[in-house]
Amino acid sequence: MKKLFRTIVIASLTIIIGFTSTQAFAGNKDRAGQAGANELLVNPWAASSGWGNAGMACIKGVDAMWSNVAGISFVNTMDLNFSYTNWLAGSGTTVVSFGMLARVSESVVAGLSVMSMSFGEIDRTDTEHPDGGIGTYKPSLMNINIAVAKSFSNSIHGGFVLKIISESIADMTGTGVAIDAGIQYVTGITDNIHFGIALKNIGPTIKYHGDGLAMQVNLSWMQSSLTVVNRADEFELPTQLNIAAAYDFNFDNASRLTLAANFNSNAFSKDQFIFGVEGSFRDILMLRGGYTYEAGLLKNIEDADCTNVYKGLSLGASVQAPLSKEKGVKVCLDYAYRNTKHWKGTHSVGARIIF
């Protein structure tokens, strides 16, 4: 059974990566802006976003369900995570996430997470009321993730995530599904060398439907009106491939310094190079920093070559303390900041309980 599951994971990743390398990831500059469901690219978790998602090769816990699902296989018994993000502070956009992991067997871990993105109330307009005054509406974006990962050995870990995507307003919805797959490989004398591959957001196209696509039309030669339904076009998902590596410098008293790098290949936007560093002091205080670079990032936001509102810098910190030394229960508080060219940055706070 172990060999079968391992073969399925490795074969699936090889086929999917080979296909997307020649299809989805070819000429991504020409396809920029053509994908939908871009909330799938927003990291809702405070700990991993503190160093710019550089740690795809060594990520562990609930954060791994978004980053590299193979990392959930390191959970001992159970892991709970809650995170709140003020996305592009001043824009009125918030992200709330909750996730949990549980070990279901000696080598298998399963998990569930929910992410909800809200934009507040937006004025409703139409052709007769372009300035509003006819009420408001609230867009809602939600992703439900169901994950499973397996440790094939002390070195090889792999898993999958099934994503259920929902985007809606009062009279129109769009739903879809996607799959993530990831592998982590750990080696070195003290398991301090990490490699990871994560393929994200593979799935069929999504199409909106609902009464919001219909409108009443009055014809001059008819006394009654007609209902005209506009056809909504399908859109693809923002497929992404990550190839990452990390190296741990382990010190006495459970202290550590980790250097990490991640190459992020996007099917519908520019490729990115991410570098990060994380320091842990006695497994109590963790400090993180990261930098994300893409072509045109250093130019002014009004320049046509600059297509990212982020400046590239990410900073984060965590404080961890034992809740029960006998049972090994820990509680952890996280904070992350991502610098932006407009607004006041993106701020994330989170709380974790590790069993």
Q: Which token pair is 119?
A: 């934009």
DSSP assignment of 275-298: EEEEEEETTTEEEEEEEEE-TTTT
Query: What is this structure's pTM?
Result: 0.87
Q: Which token pair is 312?
A: 């590239």
Residue 111 predicted with pLDDT over 90: yes
Find the helix or strand (DSSP H, E) in which 17 lies: helix 2-22
- Give, in order, the Cα–Cα distances in Å from 235 to each of 168, 174, 271: 15, 10, 20
Structure confidence at residue 3 (pLDDT): 56
Q: Count CA atoms within 13 Å of residue 315 on its CB side.
A: 5
Give per-residue pLDDT as tens, 131-174: 888 888 889 899 999 999 999 999 999 999 999 999 998 888 99
Residue 270 predicted with pLDDT over 70: yes
- Give, in order, the Cα–Cα distances in Å from 266 to each of 156, 297, 350: 25, 15, 27
* Dihedral, CA of residue 55, residue 58, residue 63 and residue 67, to nearest 10: 60
Structure confidence at residue 18 (pLDDT): 52
Structure confidence at residue 344 (pLDDT): 92
CB 194 within 8 A of CB 57: yes
Residue 15 predicted with pLDDT over 80: no
CA–CA distance, 83 with 351 (Å, rounded to integer): 6
The phi-psi region of residue 4 (left if phi > 0; otherwise alpha if psi is between -120 and 50; otherwise beta) is: alpha
Give per-residue pLDDT as tens, 17-47: 554 444 444 435 666 667 889 999 999 999 9
Question: For the domain 2-354, what is the CATH code?
Answer: 2.40.160.40
DSSP assignment of 61-93: SGGGGTS-GGGGGG-SSEEEEEEEEEETTTS-E
- Give, in order, the Cα–Cα distances in Å from 192 to each of 64, 258, 290: 18, 9, 19
Rg (CA), the chain: 22
- Give, in order, the Cα–Cα distances in Å from 94 to each of 42, 124, 171, 173, 292: 11, 20, 22, 20, 22
